[in-house]
Structure 1
Amino acid sequence: MANQKRHRRFGNIRKLPSGRYQARYLGPDGITRNADHTFETEKLAAQWLTLIESEIIRGEWQAPEAGEVHLSGYGKEWIAHRKLQPRTRENYEDLFRLHIEPILGHLSLGAIKPQTIRSWRGKLLASGTTESQAVKSYSLLRAILNTAVREDEILKQNPCRIPGYDRYHTPERPVATVAQVLALAEQMPPRYVALITVAAFSGLRWGELAALRRCDVDLAAGTVRVPRKLAALKSGLEFGPPKSAAGIRVVALPAVARKALISHLGKFTGAHPEALIFTGDKDMPLRTGNFRRAVKWAKSLADAGMPAGFHFHDLRHTGNNIAAASGASTRELMHRMGHASMRAALIYRHATSEPDREIAEIMDKRITKIAENGKPAKAAGDRLAKRSKPTDDGTGDGKAGKHRRDRPADI
């Protein structure tokens, strides 16, 4: 029978029937672990426990399981079992397969250090991977390893903690004017005129527009309901809920978009309540590539006097900017855009110069009124003249001079 040795400050040692010694300890994660091997003497077992204790004190300890779990399998399992939108899952799978697994997949989780992350990112950029893809890959890897730290407790720290690796500069996207939107709509084949107009003035995304059905439109109220989106997956098109609960919303249309939609419904949309509103030439669901070819997107942009790099998604910015300039609150903008976070709504509120222009106009009116009156300016001038009146010693009134040294004169 094994003999239990005396109690130690950290860990404990016992002698086994074989005559060898076994060491065990309670880790920072609350789990008791045995050493992965036995020791010939009690002294060797005690030395091993001292090393483990020092690692814990220095914050360098990590669970032994970290050396047994490799990133390749752990990352794939993480993506497979995470609750994700189908399109998001595909994007994550591509990022992991193309940019993470080839370089880091063979490593155990415990072998991945901050220096490993720096080297990996350098190799990605040197191989021609864009900075945006490198940032997205880093963010995905950080999320995977966060689970290893917080939920599975395999790692003590996440090695993805390098400042700046999760950000990259994105050039500001162009915002089409109302005149440009209407000019672009005129360049479209009749089937797609309303699609451009509604996209620009409703703020709906491509997938939300492609999933709209006749039953989602209330012409009397001038609104559209957004209960779903259409995602283009590798396996085909798939209808599903919006990205978040905030995406399920009802959006009011301005008159120009409502008029275009009414005309479109009468010409291109089936009578059945479930009929898709916007479809391709063969009444099939919209696909981005087919749409761009059908409307000759690049030529249409040029003919409408718009920049060549303008994307369909950029149309959304026009309506959002107009809504922000109209005085909509942050919460109202969040609802209209289908965002759960304030971040995007605040960007639009800060981007518009209308409120600032109104402030400047009010300031200008007050300044003009005071200048025309002249009394406040004259009074200020009188005070300055009185304070600067010379005295016998040439310094002006001694009392006033003292005050000038203490604080600036009122103007």
Structure 2
Amino acid sequence: MAKRRANGEGTITKRKDGRYHAAAYVYRPDGTRTRKFVYGQTREEVADKLTEMQEMTRQGIPAASSTMAFGDYLTYWLAAIAPDRLKPSTLNSYEGLTRLYIRPALGKKRLNRLSPTDVRRFLTDFKSACLCCLRGADKERPKEKQTCCAAGRCCERRPSARTVQYIHAVLRSALQQAMREELIARNVARIVETPTVNRTEVRPLDAGEVKALLKVARPHRLYALWLLLISTGLRRGEALAVTWSDVDLSAGTLRVRRNVQRIRRELIFGTPKTTRSIRTVSLPRRCVQALAEHRETQEQERKIAGPKWKPAPGQPSGLIFTTSTGRVIDPRGLNRMLIILCRNAKVRRVRVHDLRHTCASLLLAQGVDARTIMETLGHSTITMTLDTYAHVMGTTLRAAADRMDDALGLDGGESDPEGESAA
């Protein structure tokens, strides 16, 4: 009589269809044990798979992948893992993309059954779908706002290429964490090619438009802010979070070390997104003078406000740019102010972020090198600077060609004598 195999050693059996299958007890990711089956065409193939499972079990490594729904895992990832690794604004964006688009389409899929084909098909369908109808899948929206295509009046709005790229980033990050926790064997989102994004051409203000805008902004109580944004290229959240302790007017420098952003209904102060964004910026003399005048104006406003001067909870003390009662300015409010200034200055309407582009284009026009511009703007890499402003570098490139003529000692009508003799 054959000796009975011990519990846990596994079994190999031939099926009626001629194939073989093996079974053994393995660990789940939560530490419990379950019986797992593997299949193959030959006994040797199945034996190898069985040996691999048993070796993982001996090492305490989970060999059974998670069968939880992908939507449930996303909820866990966003609540327990992502807050410690993402900036608040990024987390808020990921939560919205997950709730509106990813969970309705892929939420019911099993985590261990999610395939590259599922991800690729989802991204393809997402790119071509109506944006309002995609959002209509959100159960929290009122029924009358569920879809527009169903009513026969499609809005024809489609997700931007950048939104598609963000969706792919959420999938990739979530599944990568699932791999680290050994819930799945591979990250199927990494297998799918990242969607490409065609950069839109930056259209900054020219020198004439800048002068017209600053002339109109001169009587504005935040004139120093507008001049600072144009002169240094600070992001709006960075400029609104600068305190007087960050500025050295005698040395003409400003330290960028925090920003402010609106997350849902709150204004939250935090650190810039990258380490490159934490920087020291040199201030033009006009900025130094405007800031000195702004300090005097702020002191007068403080005296007039009296007890009404109350900074918001969590707000750093000594903010340079505040409301007339000492509270932090909502970054979104700057856009509305700029729209009015552009209208009064009779220049084309631009965003606050376009003032950052304007700063870079003005520096390029003055022959400032890309590396210095990168440090001024706080870009993470010089590649970002070159890619963003490649189309406005004509003046710099022309100047480089002229300098080469000077270095070679050749003018436009002079020929190379060595070239003539060689010919």
Structure 2 unpaired stretches of 5+: 14-20, 54-61, 132-157, 304-308, 310-315
Distance 1:369 1:122, change over 3 A: closer
Q: 1:290 aligns with which of 333, 336, 355?
A: 333
- Cα shift at 1:99: 1.1
- Cα shift at 1:342: 3.0
CA contact (8 A) 2:22 2:47 kept: no
Q: Aligned to 1:290, what secondary structure does the other structure show? A: helix
Q: Residues of 2 paired with 1:230 and 1:183: CA distance?
A: 29
TM-score by length of 1: 0.72
Q: 2:77 is matched with which residue?
A: 78
Map 1:6-405 to 2 at 5 A.
12-13=10-11, 23-24=23-24, 35-36=35-36, 49=46, 64-66=64-66, 68-80=67-79, 81-82=81-82, 83-124=85-126, 125-128=128-131, 129-131=158-160, 132-150=162-180, 152=182, 154-165=184-195, 167-188=196-217, 190-268=220-298, 274-293=317-336, 295=337, 297-308=338-349, 310-324=350-364, 332-347=372-387, 350=390, 351-364=392-405, 369=411, 371=413, 376=417, 380=420
- Cα shift at 1:51: 9.8
CA contact (8 A) 2:244 2:318 kept: yes
Q: Residues of 1 paired with 2:379 and 2:335: CA distance?
A: 27
Q: 1:398 is matched with which residue?
A: none
- The alignment's C-alpha RMSD in Å is 4.1
Structure 1 unpaired stretches of 5+: 6-10, 16-20, 57-61, 384-409
TM-score by length of 2: 0.70
Residue identity over aligned pairs, in percent, reads: 27
- Cα shift at 1:235: 4.0
Distance 1:163 1:288, change over 3 A: same
Residues paired across the two proteins, number: 355
Task: Provide runs of 4+ in structure 1 moved above 6 Å.
Answer: none
CA contact (8 A) 2:335 2:351 kept: no
Higher Rg: 1
Q: Residues of 2 paired with 1:235 and 1:149: CA distance?
A: 34
- Cα shift at 1:157: 4.1
- Cα shift at 1:12: 4.8
Deviation track 1:152-198 (CA, whole Å, cap 9, x = no partner) reads 35133424533352x22231121122332232233335212111110
Q: Aligned to 1:172, what secondary structure does the other structure show? A: coil
Q: Residues of 2 paired with 1:368 and 1:197: CA distance?
A: 42
Distance 1:117 1:349, change over 3 A: closer
Deviation track 1:240-293 (CA, whole Å, cap 9, x = no partner) reads 222233222211111222222222222135599932211234432111333344
Distance 1:120 1:193, change over 3 A: same
Q: Residues of 2 paired with 1:222 and 1:89: CA distance?
A: 36
